[in-house]
Each structure stands twice: as C-alpha cells, then as structure tokens.
Amino acid sequence: MKKLIFLILIIIFLPYLIVTFFIKDNNIKFYYSTNMTIRVKRSKTGFIEQVPFEDYVVGVLAGEMPVSFELEALKAQAVAARTYVMKKLQSSYNKEYDVVDTVDNQVYISDSELRSKWKDEYQKKINKIKQAVVETKGEYLTHNGEVIEALFFSTSVGKTENSEEIFSTKLPYLRSVDSSWDEEVSPVFNDSFEFSLQEFYDRLNLQYSENLDFKIIKTTSTGRIKEVTINNSYFTGSQIYSLLNLRSTFFNMSQVGNNIVITTKGYGHGVGLSQYGALAMAKKGYNYQQILSYYYLGTNIEKI
C-alpha cells in the first residue's frame, strides 16, 4: 500500500519537478489557439467573464471601430485587436484576468449589450463585424517572430508618433509615418474646447488669474506637447490632456475675454494604427494587409 501511494505521488509531482529544475522561464513558449477563452474583467460589475477568443475580437471590433467603416479597415482593426490581446496573454497567465473592457486595454462590448445598443439594426451590423473577424480568423502580427504591441488610436495629427516619444519604449515597428489623409475623413481631426477662467484654473488646481501665460517648452517631432508652463506652473502635455479631457496632446490655448479657448488636432495617443487613417486607405482601395504593413513597419501577418 505504501509503495502504491509513493508511486502515485511521484506521478503527480514529477512534471512539476521537471519544470522547476530543468526548464528556465525564458525557454517556456506561449502557445495560442483560437479555441482559447479571454478572461475579461467587466468595469461596471467587476465580474470576470470568460469569452471565447474570436467572440472577444468581435466584441472589441464593435467597441473600437464604427461599423460604418469600410470592410478592409474593419479587418485591419480585427487583426490589431487580436494581436493586442495575444500580447497581453503573454503576461497575464498568472493573473486573475487578462484584460479589462475599457480603453485601458480595448473596449469590449458583449453580444447582449450589442443587441440592446443596435436594436433592429443588430443583425445587419453584427454580420458586417463578424465578416471582418471571420475573414481574418486567427491572424495576428509579428516582428522578427514575436507578437507585437499592436497599439491603435482614432485620428492622427497628420503623422503617427514614434513610440518612444509617447510611451518611452522605442519599438522598430512603431515609427512615425505620414497619415495626412486622416484630415479627409475624421470629424475630430480639428476640434476646440472652451472653459471659463474659473473652471480652467480649478481643473488644473491653479490659483485664479485674470491673465493666461501659456508657454510650450517641449514637443514631439510631430508637434504634440510634452511639456508646458501655465502661469509659471509646469505640466506635461499628458497632464493637461487628462485634466481638461482633451482629444490629444496636440493643442494650443489662448484667452478670449473671460474664457480659455483650446484647439486640438487628432484624437488619441497617436502611436500605431490610425483608425481613420485605415478608413481613408480603405476608401482609396488598399486592403487590410497593406494598411497593417503601412502602420506597423516591418511586420508580418501570421495565423494561429
């Protein structure tokens, strides 16, 4: 009986011992499957929902890109969304969940939520979303054999950004490229915001002043603001963007009477795929592979 128990214990713990003592962490390869589930933490309830991989891509595509966009733009976004979560899975396997359903990762909308949102148009719209996902099923982006950080955003300022100028890490496939066609199709390429003096200074936690002194200290290569002073107080561009809920860090401001008027260009962080740029390219006849290779330099499309 003791021998039997000993034998059972060896069978149970032998694989663990082999992994522990003979396999180094950097030799463990993550394997993907379209049959996997994604653990999505829902922001409203805190509940962790188990979502089939491709269903998750459907929900992200519906949440991140207007269904009215050209099919090739939707397909490009589907591949980017799939790639993004695959990269996240590499570091989330030992965590409680893989992603959240907000812009902190990718906006995800469940099927029941889409039915409620789209009502009578549900079937028509979901068919188009699913077509984009099915026609790219299992496809993702790599650079030198590694899954990439497939960042994306709404609208460029005429060019996309080098990754290190926004997020500090330099990645060879996230380089600044021309995206001037965004202006042709995006309704938010240029925008303006107006604040009363009181609201403006309250939001920035500054002492009220009758006069604005705005100075740009440092910008990115495309003109996005990295550092400014407002009435001699220092801010990063990201701080102003967040505190005033602007569309991007490409902005200027001036005082008009008792108000502060801020003009912005672009929408989002500016790194990677421009969604409205993808739309413009699709309208010009480019396919999703060409769109992806344009915004993610030197990458390849592979399939699970």
pLDDT of residue 53 exceeding 60: yes
Q: What amino acid occupies position 23?
A: I
Six-digit token pair at 214?
Answer: 């705005």
pLDDT band for position 31 (50/70/90)? low
- CA 92/CA 109 separation, integer angstroms: 21
Helix axes 53-64, 111-118, angle to 10 degrees: 30
> Percent of the chain having pLDDT more than 90?
86
Q: Is residue 182 over pLDDT 80?
A: yes
Mean predicted confidence (pLDDT) in 97-108: 97
**152 pLDDT above the threshold of 90:** yes
pLDDT at 34: 66
The per-residue pLDDT for range 186-234, each reduced to its tens digit, is 999 999 999 999 999 999 999 999 999 999 999 999 999 999 999 999 9
Confidence label for 121 from pLDDT (cuts 50, 70 and 90) = very high
Structure tokens at 263: 């003009």
**CA-closest candidate to residue 196, choices 210, 182, 185, 214:** 210
Residue with tokens 């260009």: 265
- Whole-number pLDDT of residue 168: 87
CA distance 168 to 84: 19
Interatomic CA distance for residues 304 and 298, integer angstroms: 19
CB 275 within 8 A of CB 154: yes
Name the residue among 183, 157, 187 with its Cα closest to residue 271.
Answer: 157
Task: State the pLDDT confidence band at 35, using cuts at 50, 70 and 90.
Answer: confident
Which spans in the chain are helix H? 2-22, 53-64, 71-92, 111-118, 122-134, 163-167, 182-185, 197-203, 237-243, 275-283, 288-295
pLDDT for residue 251 = 98
Is 169's pLDDT higher than 70?
yes
| Average of per-residue pLDDT values in the chain | 91
Q: Tell me how far apart the alpha carbons of residues 66 and 77 are, in angstroms, rounded to a whole number.
A: 11
Residue 259 reports pLDDT greater than 70 = yes
Q: Percent of the chain scored above 70 by pLDDT?
A: 89
User: Which residue type is seen at 259?
Assistant: N
pLDDT of residue 123: 98
Q: Global pTM?
A: 0.87
**pLDDT for residue 144 is more than 60:** yes
